[in-house]
């Protein structure tokens, strides 16, 4: 197990990554007042674990899935916390995927103006990305993560034992954020290319999870609240990914990140930011995770929703974090017309 410190100004976090993280959780949370938030799927699979690890704690399972990442569900969590008469010294444990982590973290930031939060990510995506760095949020009126807060957890426990029950599709979603990290960090990119035949092997995932967390920790320490612009890089593939995710639904966040990476690597190549050879290597890696890309209907309309992206600075401009070369990226700002034109042109292309 690796211990990774995230030395953020508001509150430092410690991430325990690897086999045995859950034992560490038992040790560190022993004797604390705990409120557990999970979702119905995770509760069904891990009821015995939750009940034996937190025998005296109230447990609240929210309905699973992105469509429940709403103010309504957030307030149902706060309602349960109030009904359980939690005091300020109580700790909230968010045990689940990124949806539970984002909403649980936000509830912790709001209840009595903030109680300590702990993340126990149970999906690959949440382990490599969402549980670390303190971004918490819910979606509202069709805009992803538009209501939220930066609120660092005290601890994050990334234990690979949870990955054993994950469907293959959810492993692919986590690989979406892993490939994104590889596009930002050259050594991780090399590791991914070298292990392209065993991307879903548990031993490899354990190793790469710690590398991704370490990379993200370094970025978050330097730009905790996305003020200097550095943290924006973690959004590569997300401008297009988020727009398609909210317009079409059906697939999940990680899959849309991969699809967004495909579109954005093509854009980077077409507007001359990225050399064709590197853009192709990136798409080959994406192709190791998703075999075939869909052709989207009405993609121009979907692409227009990228105007809601939080990175944008002007009304009719879309900001994109694009791959440039191995380990390097560049921010591009395109007019909405140019962006839609490129997306329509790339739609239906092969990996
Ligand atoms: P999710 O939380 O919806 O989990 C995916 C599915 O897996 C759900 O059905 C869940 O019930 C199930 N599940 C969870 N753990 C399981 C397990 N161990 N075994 C079997 N099934 C399990 O989705 P996700 O992909 O984990 O997270 C996506 C969310 O994360 C999105 O809302 C996205 O916006 C957010 N996100 C946030 C950040 C951040 O920095 N805060 C970063 C990336 C993504
Ligand atoms: N996942 C994007 C971020 O944490 O900034």
Question: Could you tell me the distance, in angstroms and rounded to a whole number, from the CA of residue 116 to the centre of ligand 2?
Answer: 20
The DSSP letter of residue 232 is: G
The DSSP letter of residue 168 is: H
Residues 161 and 19: beta-carbon distance below 8 Å: yes
Nearest CA to ligand 1 atom 43: 130
Dihedral sign from CA coordinates of 99, 104, 110, 115: negative
d(CA 9, CA 223): 10
Structure confidence at residue 249 as a pLDDT band (50, 70, 90): confident
Give residue ranges with CB within 6 A of ligand 2.
129, 133, 135, 231, 234-235
Residues 104 and 37: beta-carbon distance below 8 Å: yes
Residues 10 and 224: beta-carbon distance below 8 Å: yes
Q: What is the mean pLDDT of residues 201-217?
A: 96
Structure confidence at residue 321 as a pLDDT band (50, 70, 90): very high
Question: Could you tell me the distance, in angstroms and rounded to a whole number, from the CA of residue 65 to the centre of ligand 1?
Answer: 8
Give residue ranges with CB within 6 A of ligand 1.
39, 41-42, 45, 64-66, 69, 96-100, 102, 122-123, 125-126, 129-130, 133, 135, 144-145, 162, 165-166, 170, 173, 252-254
Cβ neighbours of residue 150 closer than 8 Å, sequence gap 6 or more = 10, 134, 135, 136, 224, 225
Structure confidence at residue 252 as a pLDDT band (50, 70, 90): confident
Q: What is the mean pLDDT of residues 297-316?
A: 94
The residues carrying an active-site annotation are 113, 135, 177, 216, 226, 231, 235, 238, 242, 253
Query: What is the per-residue pLDDT for 206?
Result: 92
pLDDT at 143 over 90: no
Ligand number with the minimum distance to the CA of 181: 2
The DSSP letter of residue 294 is: P
Helix, strand, coil distribution of the chain in percent, nearest 5? 55, 20, 30
Using most ligand atoms within 8 A of CB, pick from 98, 133, 136 the residue to mutate for ligand 2. 133
Tokens in use for 213?
A: 């967390």
Q: Which of 327, 145, 151 is nearest to 236 (CA)?
A: 327
User: Above pLDDT 70, what percent of the chain?
Assistant: 100
Residues 124 and 163: beta-carbon distance below 8 Å: yes
Nearest CA to ligand 2 atom 5: 234
Structure confidence at residue 61 as a pLDDT band (50, 70, 90): very high
Nearest CA to ligand 1 atom 5: 97
pTM of the model: 0.95
Ligand number with the minimum distance to the CA of 68: 1
Quickly count: other Cβ atoms within 10 Å of residue 42's Cβ.
24
Q: What is the mean pLDDT of residues 179-197?
A: 96
Quickly count: other Cβ atoms within 10 Å of residue 151's Cβ.
18
- pLDDT tens across 82-93, in order? 999 999 999 999
Q: Which of 23, 51, 48, 22 is nearest to 36 (CA)?
A: 51
Nearest atom (ligand 2) to Cα of 130: 1
pLDDT at 267 over 90: yes
Q: Which helix (H) or strand (E) holds 238?
A: helix 238-248
Question: Could you tell me the distance, in angstroms and rounded to a whole number, from the CA of residue 4 to the centre of ligand 1?
Answer: 22
pLDDT at 142 over 90: no
Residue scoring higher pLDDT (336 or 253): 336
Quickly count: other Cβ atoms within 10 Å of residue 164's Cβ.
8
Ligand number with the minimum distance to the CA of 96: 1
How would you classify residue 134: left for phi > 0, otherwise alpha for psi between -120 and 50, otherwise beta?
Answer: left
Structure confidence at residue 144 as a pLDDT band (50, 70, 90): confident
Q: Are strands 13-17 and 2-6 parallel, antiparallel or unpaired?
A: antiparallel
Nearest atom (ligand 2) to Cα of 226: 5
Q: What is the mean pLDDT of residues 297-304?
A: 96
pLDDT at 338 over 90: yes
Structure confidence at residue 351 as a pLDDT band (50, 70, 90): confident
Q: Which of 141, 65, 129 is nearest to 103 (CA)?
A: 65
- pLDDT tens across 1-60, in order? 999 999 999 999 999 999 999 999 999 999 999 999 999 999 999 999 999 999 999 999
Q: What is the mean pLDDT of residues 145-155?
A: 97
pLDDT at 292 over 90: no
Q: What is the mean pLDDT of residues 263-282?
A: 96
Backbone phi, psi, residue 140, to 5° = -155, 135
d(CA 121, CA 18): 12
Tokens in use for 348?
A: 């239906």
């Amino acid at each position: 197990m690796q211990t990774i410190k995230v030395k953020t100004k508001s509150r430092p976090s410690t991430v325990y990554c690897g086999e045995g993280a859950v034992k560490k959780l038992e040790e560190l949370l022993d004797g604390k007042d705990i409120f557990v938030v999970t979702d119905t799927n995770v509760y069904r699979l891990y009821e015995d674990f939750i009940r034996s690890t937190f025998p005296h704690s109230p447990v609240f399972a929210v309905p699973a899935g992105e469509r429940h990442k709403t103010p309504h569900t957030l307030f149902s969590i706060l309602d349960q916390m109030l009904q359980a008469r939690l005091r300020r010294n109580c700790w909230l444990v968010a045990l689940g995927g990124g949806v539970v982590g984002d909403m649980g973290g936000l509830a912790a930031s709001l209840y009595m103006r903030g109680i300590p939060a702990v993340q126990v990510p149970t999906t690959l995506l949440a382990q490599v990305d969402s549980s670390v760095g303190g971004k918490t949020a819910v979606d509202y009126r069709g805009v992803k993560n538009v209501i939220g807060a930066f609120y660092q957890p005290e601890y994050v426990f990334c234990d690979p034992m949870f990955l054993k029950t994950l469907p293959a599709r959810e492993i692919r979603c986590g690989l979406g954020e892993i490939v994104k990290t590889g596009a930002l960090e050259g050594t991780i990119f090399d590791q991914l290319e070298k292990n392209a035949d065993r991307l879903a092997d548990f031993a490899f995932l354990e190793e790469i999870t710690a590398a991704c967390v370490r990379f993200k920790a370094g970025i978050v320490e330097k730009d905790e609240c996305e003020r200097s612009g550095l943290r924006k890089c973690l959004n590569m593939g997300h401008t297009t990914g988020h727009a398609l995710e909210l317009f079409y639904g059906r697939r999940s966040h990680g899959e849309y990140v991969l699809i967004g990476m495909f579109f954005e690597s093509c854009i980077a190549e077409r507007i001359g930011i990225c050399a064709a050879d590197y853009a192709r290597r990136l798409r080959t890696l994406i192709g190791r995770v998703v075999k075939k890309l869909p052709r989207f209907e009405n993609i121009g309309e979907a692409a227009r929703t990228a105007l809601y992206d939080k990175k944008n600075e002007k009304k009719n401009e879309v900001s994109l974090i694009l791959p440039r070369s191995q380990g390097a990226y560049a921010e591009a700002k395109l007019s909405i017309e140019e962006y839609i034109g490129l997306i329509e042109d790339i739609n239906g292309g092969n990996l």
